[in-house]
Amino acid sequence: MGVRVRIEFRGRSTETIPLVNTGFEGDVPEVLVPLHIAGRLGVWPRLPEGALIETYRSASGLMRVYRVAGARVWLVEELGRAGPVDSYLVISEYTMSRSLTTS
């Protein structure tokens, strides 16, 4: 079994397989999610009050994200759950493809 996380925001939750060890560092806990995960959590397309629009620097350049306080994140393990960790939910309009195509 791979690493899984459970993300909860205002009464809604979802479990997903995260991309880990990306070299990302921040001052506070954040979980960066694509639009489809934000939609499952009821945060997209209508952002909650208090959402901030910010610019983050990535390996691909600058990207606009939406940052919302109030998420909780658990590490899901075979023997139970570790957490929760209070976190910011950071929503990205940019997602990476899950598969590579070759010509």
pTM of the model: 0.79
Task: Determine which helix (DSSP H) or strand (DSSP E) holds 46, and give its type and residue range.
Answer: none
The pLDDT value recorded for residue 46 is 93
Q: Can you give the pLDDT at residue 96? A: 53
Query: Does the pLDDT at position 32 exceed 60?
Result: yes
Q: What is the pLDDT of residue 58?
A: 80
Fold assignment, 4-20+27-92? Cathepsin D, subunit A; domain 1 (2.40.70)
Q: Would the pLDDT of 59 be above 70?
A: yes
Once rounded to an integer, what is the mean pLDDT over residues 22-48? 88
Round to whole Å and give the CA distance between 41 and 50.
Answer: 16
**Mean pLDDT, residues 43-71 taken together:** 91
